[in-house]
Structure 1
Amino acid sequence: MSIKTGTAKLAGKSSYWFLHNILKGGTSFPGKLAMKIDPDVLQSLAKDYEVIIVTGTNGKTMTTALITEALRKKYGEILTNPSGSNMQQGIVTAFLAHHPQRNGKKLAVLEVDEANVKYVTKLLHPTAFVLTNIFRDQMDRYGEIYTTYDKIVEGIKLAPDATIIANGDASIFSSVDLPNKKIFYGFKLPDDKPDNDLTAPVNTDGVLCPKCNHILHFHERIYANLGDFFCPNCGYHRPELSYTVNQIIEQTPNSLKFKMGKKDYTIGIGGTYNIYNALAAYSVAREFGLSDEEVAESFAENKRIFGRQELINYHNKEIDLILVKNPVGLDEVLHMLNTEKDDYSLITLLNANHADGIDTSWIWDADYEGLDKSKIKKVLVGGERWRDMGFRLEVAGFDPGLMTTVANNDEVIDSLSSLPTKKVYILSTYTAMLALRKTMAEKKIIKAGM
């Protein structure tokens, strides 16, 4: 190890200790500081680790958490980046913070931003890539879905020996010829019949055949552009699946019960999209030698995580904090809310900073019109772009008399106790969610950090 690398590690570890023991936070600065001294410090930090990279548009954080909990059943301590700080500096911080076990396999399960896969792969040489999905997201940063996938493929090409564990229901993931071993997972439900011929709604993106640009059809469509796809023009179709969800047994906003193979699985979180995340984690766990029973146990123990359906109890309210960042993810959250049996209050926080995507037009592509408004007894609208969100909800048919604007996070928190329902759902973009959690931590409602 060179003097430069040693200095970078020392500076990064020292700053991490100070930030977390004195200031109670900091997920990217230690990595940024270490990289300023040695841009390739990650190579040294990760040299003894077997690394799994999780990437894609939606579901990275939850999939990473589920994989990590499952692999702990067999391998003990796992290095990961639970805060969702998924760019290179955040990943370096995760390594700086980790104290590896002395014996046994050293495993790292890392959520990686799509545009950072190439830079991270150069230094980590991963064993596996887990690909969740590709949807339109932050157009100012990623462009169309094909551009996003190109960024991921650039990284994968640097690790031809790594296994690809990909969502087979996403047509884009089997479209590029790569030398890597490929394992696909997806839904194979009882009503998925070979003679079904379905098409997606007209505003669905990513339904052009990657081979001939004809409109894709589906034997079964799960949501958005995901399902048992086929092209009636050139014959391109869903690849053979190694791991499948065979039945959705029950869904509520706070729980999912579903069947994979011959076994039932339960996780304490809602949304069909989270079944895909669980299936991705199951696929990885099985490839790493875990039994169905070990996976089921880990799923049952899984805790709510930072900002992703994070459950907060305050003033006798059950508050569900949910990150939303693009129309497909938001649509699925709205569908999940329609499974709620009780009345609830809705809080929407919209920002448009770089980490959120500066273009807020995506809120018009989500189906607020389809949300069951009869159970919503109060709506608070906040964030830096509250005017945009308020107007969007009015157009969607929300009663303006039920809507109140909150100017800042102090007002959001002060308003919670007077809401007319026990259940509260907060739908928030990324930077608005971070700011709200910071204010909640300062008021001792939640713990600081992750």
Structure 2
Amino acid sequence: MNFKSAFASLVGKSSYWILHNIFKGGTSFPGKIAMKLDPDILSHLANDYETIVVTGTNGKTMTTALIVNALKEKYGDILTNPSGSNMQQGIVTAFLCHHKKHAGRKIAVLEVDEANVKAVTQLLHPKAYVLTNIFRDQMDRYGEIYTTYEKIVDGIKLEPNAKIIANGDASIFSSVDLPNPKVFFGFETKDENQAKDTKASVNTDGVLCPKCNHVIHYHQISYANLGDFFCPNCGYKRPELTYKLKEIISQSPSKIAFKIENSNFEINIGGTYNIYNALAAFSVAREFGVSEAEIAASFAKNKRIFGRQELINYQGKEINLILVKNPVGLNEVLNLLNTEKDAYTLAALLNAHHADGIDTSWIWDADFEGLDKNKIKQVLVGGERHHDMGFRLEVAGFNPGTMETTPDDNTLLTRIKTAPTKKVYILATYTAMLALRKTLYDEKVISNKIN
């Protein structure tokens, strides 16, 4: 490391210490300072690491956490960016604040924003890319799904020897001919009730064949546009899977049991989408020599991540805080809520900052109409665009008499104290989630905040 990089590293680490120990934050600002002093600081910090890049629309943070925990079973300490700060400055901060000593293999597992894959690849030279899925998300930033994938491919092309570990059920991920070694994972469960030749429901994006633009068909659909796809026009079909989900044993809002390959697994979180995250982590771990027994042990110890079905005890209420950011992810969360057996209070917080996506029309593509309204005893709407969210829920059939507007987080928490149910589900866009967590941190309800 040259003097410029060493100085940038010192300043970045010092700023992290101050922000972390005094202000209890600092997930990206130290990296921003270091990059100002040395734009190439990341290449020096990551020089002797085997780096795994995790990218895609949904599930990056949870997949990264599950991969880290699985690799820890075999290799001990793993460097990562657990806060979900996935731009360059956040990744630099992750390296700056990592102080543990490595006795053996040095591995970094990094969540990377889709639009930043190329810039990060130029500095990190990843050993593997993990591709979760691509759905419409923040179209003001990414454009359509094909534009998003192009951004990812532009990065992968810089490292033709890096292994691609991709969701084989997403038709887009096998559509571009890349020289990289490839590993695909997917669902191969037996559902005798599902038609063997079916199409995705209307209003599902990404259902045109990426080769000929004919409508894709499926032997089986897991959710949205994911499944065992084939094109009846040109013959394009799902690639051969290396790792397969064989069975979903049971599901609840707080736990999923399933079988991958030869072993049964459990994770302490709900949602079919999280099975894909676990399957991705399983695939990476097996490619890095971790046994199925070690993976099962790591899954059993998994903890909920901030804002991703994060459980918070508040004034005798059980708050489940869930990040939502696009129609597909929100629909899967709504499906999760329909597995809840008890009555609950629903809060929906909508912001429209750059990090959320400034266009809020995506909430109209989510199936709020399909929620089991008998279990929802009160509805709270909040965030800066609470009027939009309230109107959307009213159109979905919710009684305006059971809905209450909470224009700020203090009002929201006051209403939660007197909610008619013990369980409270809060669905929040990214900046709304961060703002609520800051309020909870200030009230000493939670011990960590994310900047």
By the TM > 0.5 criterion, same fold? yes
Q: Which amino acid aligns with 2:301?
A: E
Partner Cα separation in structure 2 for residue 194 and residue 228 of structure 1: 12
Unaligned runs of 5+ in 1: none
**Deviations 1:187-229 (CA, angstroms, capped at 9, x unpaired):** 0011279981100112110010010000000000111110000
Instruction: Specify the SS of the correspondent of 1:210.
Output: coil
Partner Cα separation in structure 2 for residue 439 and residue 252 of structure 1: 29
Instruction: Specify the SS of the correspondent of 1:393.
Output: helix
Q: Which segment drifts farther, 143-152 or 6-15?
A: 6-15
Q: Which residue of 1 aligns with 2:115?
A: 115
Q: TM-score, normalised by structure 2?
A: 0.99
Partner Cα separation in structure 1 for residue 325 and residue 192 of structure 2: 30
Cα gap change, 1:281/1:204 in structure 2, threshold over 3 Å: closer, same or farther?
same
**Deviations 1:262-281 (CA, angstroms, capped at 9, x unpaired):** 22110000000000000000
Instruction: Specify the SS of the correspondent of 1:259.
Output: strand
**1:355 paired to 2:355:** yes
Partner Cα separation in structure 2 for residue 283 and residue 390 of structure 1: 41
Q: Is the 8 A contact 1:311 1:321 kept in 2?
A: yes
Partner Cα separation in structure 1 for residue 141 and residue 263 of structure 2: 41
**Map 1:291-370 → 2, pairs under 5 A:** 291-370=291-370
The percent identity for this pair of structures is 72
Instruction: Specify the SS of the correspondent of 1:15.
Output: helix
Q: Which residue of 2 aligns with 1:211?
A: 211
Q: Which residue of 2 aligns with 1:264?
A: 264
Unaligned runs of 5+ in 2: none
Instruction: Specify the SS of the correspondent of 2:63.
Output: helix
Q: Is the 8 A contact 2:77 2:102 kept in 1?
A: no
**Deviations 1:122-149 (CA, angstroms, capped at 9, x unpaired):** 0000010000000000010000000000
Q: Which residue of 1 aligns with 2:286?
A: 286
Cα gap change, 1:280/1:102 in structure 2, threshold over 3 Å: closer, same or farther?
closer
**Map 1:98-247 → 2, pairs under 5 A:** 98-191=98-191, 196-247=196-247
Partner Cα separation in structure 1 for residue 245 and residue 171 of structure 2: 17
Q: Which residue of 1 aligns with 2:430?
A: 430
Instruction: Specify the SS of the correspondent of 1:222.
Output: strand
Q: Which residue of 1 aligns with 2:47?
A: 47
Q: Is the 8 A contact 1:100 1:106 kept in 2?
A: no
Q: TM-score, normalised by structure 1?
A: 0.99
Partner Cα separation in structure 1 for residue 262 and residue 19 of structure 2: 47
Partner Cα separation in structure 1 for residue 182 and residue 81 of structure 2: 25
Q: Which residue of 2 aligns with 1:77?
A: 77
Q: Which amino acid aligns with 2:65?
A: A
Cα gap change, 1:193/1:333 in structure 2, threshold over 3 Å: closer, same or farther?
closer
**Deviations 1:355-388 (CA, angstroms, capped at 9, x unpaired):** 0000000000000000110000001100000000
Runs of 4+ in 1 over 6 A off after TM superposition: 192-195
How far does residue 309 in structure 1 lie from its aligned partner after superposition? 0.5
Q: Which amino acid aligns with 2:14?
A: S
Partner Cα separation in structure 1 for residue 420 and residue 296 of structure 2: 37
Instruction: Specify the SS of the correspondent of 1:447.
Output: coil
Q: Which residue of 1 aligns with 2:21?
A: 21
Instruction: Specify the SS of the correspondent of 2:185.
Output: strand
Instruction: Specify the SS of the correspondent of 1:208.
Output: coil
